[in-house]
A and B are shown apart, each in its own frame.
Chain A
């Protein structure tokens, strides 16, 4: 039996007690992201003012990785500019591909606990769902 489970407390806590999982009133950007093969489904909503993400939330169903990843992402990007959020998304997606530096990884704060997903090909699409959805959304901002 292996004790160093991938499902550590940070991940399970974001899954069971998400901070940003609710319906956001007054959002001006909203987009659904779906992984049809596993049924992960989130709707990401952002309130963007003067190029800055002033608030954000998500709703949906899915595995712990998809849900916790979206929650940690929102922790990170709320209060950031569009460009900063895009940069963080780029770092996160490269982390999942296994191509970032330690300094970049630190910028991701809690979201960096998902770096092991780079060794779990079946779970990559769960981890990146929220981030891809945000990237797509920010193109419209």
Chain B
């Protein structure tokens, strides 16, 4: 391990505590103590119900929450903090758009386009919204290596298209999609662009104004923050005209027995007591990432991806899904091993203390399109190192033997 490796490793005690080689970062990342302490500090020092208490502690809690919102807004380049709605995770953020925006503004004859490479969370909400509104859902098929381009969208989009949903980084291919280009095509046809940032926001700099996307959904737990906190970015004027998502406390102005007027953006989308501890943890996770910096994070992840793919390519029975070019993978290496089922692969990795994901990666339509039932995925974070990859590849090349094959 290099000095830098050790320095970063110290931030993730679970890796040592459990002696695990953790390669399932696309599912969730591990959490550094500073994040857990930030949440703890909030509960030990500032906790009260925010946004309504007329006493100092509640004002503290409100400040903690709203400061976290500002940190998140700045991190992704939002125009103003109010453009960030806190949710539980990317799935909830995407459902918020589908329930609040799509079900209100879409009607029969309209069209939603989503790509075949989407995670179920950026597909099922559109299937349901289409059913509820009578709009048509059309799939944009990627090439078999995961390539998706704005030109491909241009070919199928029409002026009936009202929403286009595209993942920024696919959780299967790891490829970075040209969200700016997709947004341009969508806007030229009067449609809005929904970007799923669950895999991108933790791994590459994202600037929503540069991308000009209308919505961006992401989770905290994949970027070193606690589980149960996520965010939806939306352009302010869209949030203004969207109706509330959930109804109840802390999202109202006036309530009578007949109805209510609703709180300002973004609070009208945050019914009930909110997750301040999580939001504070997310803000600290962002500062944690900023302390290391994108250059370090991206270089480490890129170098390790290249290192791993180069080693894996030496074995003819290992097949990597997606691009041949490691630069197009962003730490996500999904693969097949001839003759061995992914669940057996993952079980054998587990016997060697290595955590990888096996299955359909919540992308069953994509798996079907690729002609496979399931695959295995190793996904990196910047705390991984060469020793992790060496152990991973060494185990990988021994699996066929362990499963009874001659070589």
Contacts and interface: CB of A to CB of B under 8 A. Distances in A.
Interface of A: 1-2, 5-7, 9, 12-13, 15-16, 37-39, 41, 61-65, 120, 122-123, 126
A15 B403 contact: yes
A63 B343 contact: yes
B341 interface: yes
Interface stretch (B194-202, B314-322, B347-355, B379-387): B347-355
Nearest to B373: A39
Nearest to A14: B404
Q: Which 4 A-B pairs have the closest CB atoms?
A: A12-B404, A39-B373, A63-B341, A63-B343
A122 B347 CA distance: 10
A13 B403 CA distance: 8
B344 interface: yes
B405 interface: yes
Given A16-B405, A38-B359, A61 B373 contact: yes
B371 to A, nearest CB: 12
B341 A64 contact: yes
A15 B341 CA distance: 11
Interface in B378-407: 402-405
Nearest to A11: B404
Contact of B348 (A5, A15, A16): A5
Contacts of A122: 343
Nearest to A16: B404
B329 interface: no
B351 A15 contact: no
A2 B343 contact: no
A78 B339 CA distance: 28
B360 interface: yes
Given A63-B343, A64-B344, A7 B373 contact: no
Contacts of B348: 5, 7
A5 B402 contact: yes
A22 B43 CA distance: 62
A7 B402 contact: yes
Contact of A39 (B344, B374, B404, B405): B374
Nearest to A1: B352
A65 B358 CA distance: 15
Nearest to B345: A63
A25 B352 CA distance: 43
Contacts of B360: 39
- Name the residue among A12, A37, A65, A120 with the largest chain B CB count within 10 angstroms: A12
